Chains A and B, each alone.
Chain A
Amino acid sequence: AQKVTQAQTEISVVEKEDVTLDCVYETRDTTYYLFWYKQPPSGELVFLIRRNSFDEQNEISGRYSWNFQKSTSSFNFTITASQVVDSAVYFCALSEDMNSGGYQKVTFGTGTKLQVIP
């Protein structure tokens, strides 16, 4: 079973629209971390946010916001008033304990390609 599911393969929106990227994860750990990374057309992965399992407070950073809900095992990402520069592939990732000396392995979702049309 996939540990991180990003069901939306591709999304297209018109500039200035809001868009939400879904991420559903699966883990048996009580302590884990969730991440979002952005991969623009240039190819490099850029860190966006890191959240631990004990912090369910939603976070807002400019036009970006994240909604973490343990009850539904989801960590969704919303871009408000999208811009062309937001066009990229967005990856959600989960870090969980591998029961080996505290090592937590990171598993990435398959990514959601967002295209913002001017």
Chain B
Amino acid sequence: DAGVIQSPRHEVTEMGQEVTLRCKPISGHNSLFWYRQTMMRGLELLIYFNNNVPIDDSGMPEDRFSAKMPNASFSTLKIQPSEPRDSAVYFCASSPGFSGTDTQYFGPGTRLTVL
């Protein structure tokens, strides 16, 4: 079975540009998580969806960040406009059940560099 799929794997952009990261969760999983990983702040939860509905977006840094999950098999994380401090690895993860009690299965991540 395919795991969590993320695209692109690497993204290099210039400050001010819009960036869209994509995620396809494991089929049948009800929960989807977006994380950001940096050396300074470690692994941070940005947003959590359950059955396509955002449940916890308290980790979204600011209005420049937005996330959508239009259906059970696709989610996007958008940064507009991007800034150099957004450079990080962004992970998408999915899990079978509700909330954080289940094991999360992570995608390979998208390494974002904002120049």
Contacts and interface: CB of A to CB of B under 8 A. Distances in A.
Given A44-B109, A103-B99, A110 B56 contact: no
Interface of A: 33, 35, 37, 42-47, 50, 52, 91, 95, 98, 102-111
A103 B56 CA distance: 9
Provide the main secondary structure of the chain A interface.
strand
A105 B43 contact: no
- Interface size on B, as a range, is 20 to 34
A95 B33 CA distance: 14
Interface stretch (B62-70, B77-85, B100-108): B100-108
Nearest to A96: B100
Interface of B: 33, 42-43, 45, 48, 50, 55-56, 89, 91, 93, 98-109, 111
B100 A44 contact: no
A43 B109 contact: yes
Nearest to B93: A45
B106 A45 contact: yes
A33 B100 contact: yes
Given A37-B106, A44-B107, A102-B99, 7 more contacts: A33-B100, A43-B89, A43-B111, A44-B106, A44-B109, A102-B98, A104-B101
